[in-house]
Amino acid sequence: MRITRTLVGAVAVAVLAVGCGGSGSGDGTEPGGNAASGSGGVDEGDEAQTDGGESEELPVKIDAPVEELLEDRPKISPEPPRDASETERVVHDLREKTLAMAGVEGRTAGSCAGGDVTMKAGATTTCTVTYEGLKVPWEVTISDRYEPGSFVFTYQAKPLMGLLTARGVGGEFFKQQNRRGVDRVQCSEIPDAELVELNVQTEHRCQYPLDEDGEERWSVRAVEVQPSGLSFGLPRD
């Protein structure tokens, strides 16, 4: 069983209005995308899922950092002004999506290749959001139904790399396990912020204890970044 953090809008269709205050985003998971449930439920067969670390403790103890986690849809203030360009609105929206991927606050800035989003039906532009010095690339595709001069336009935002943070991983894993009554979790040493391949298990691990007939064992999970959010699954290696 894989436990995933819900991150609405990482791969999403955004709806933006031109000439109105605020981004007005209405996010929905891309058709065929991987919408996460974030269930955090008890794993079936946990007793047997002690792979890769039955007696070995990971070095970083996570102490209830849930309060610093961002909401799934964090907001960056100020929002674009009423007369903001399409590109300014898209970049602002991508900055918020990047914060959601990181899970915790950080400095962001953004720009698009060529200076502007190509506002043509079906056109794709690569934009980049910088989070604490790391460059997160995004692919922005304007809807095939776009008409020049439209008051409202939609686009699809697709991250080309995953972003994870030590505080975001630790906080989310603690939150998910704490929901089921576990208050002791540990993780490997994770960089403050790091770019990783999407949908590929990283070398980073987190764990929580199991009590098997009075003997403590560890249930180990591999950290993975998916377009829909953080995933904690059984290691596949």
pTM: 0.79
DSSP 195-223: EE-TTSEEEEEEEEEEEETTEEEEEEEEE
By percentage, how much of the chain surpasses pLDDT 90? 61
Average pLDDT over residues 151-173: 95
Lowest-confidence segment of 1-5, 108-112, 154-158 by average pLDDT: 1-5
The one-letter code for the residue type at 169 is: V
> Which element (helix H / strand E) includes 94?
helix 86-102
Per-residue confidence band for 56, with pLDDT thresholds at 50, 70 and 90: confident
CB 52 within 8 A of CB 204: no
| pLDDT, tens digit, 9 for 90 and up, residues 58-89 | 999 998 777 788 887 899 999 999 999 999 99
Separation of alpha carbons 172 and 78, rounded Å:
27
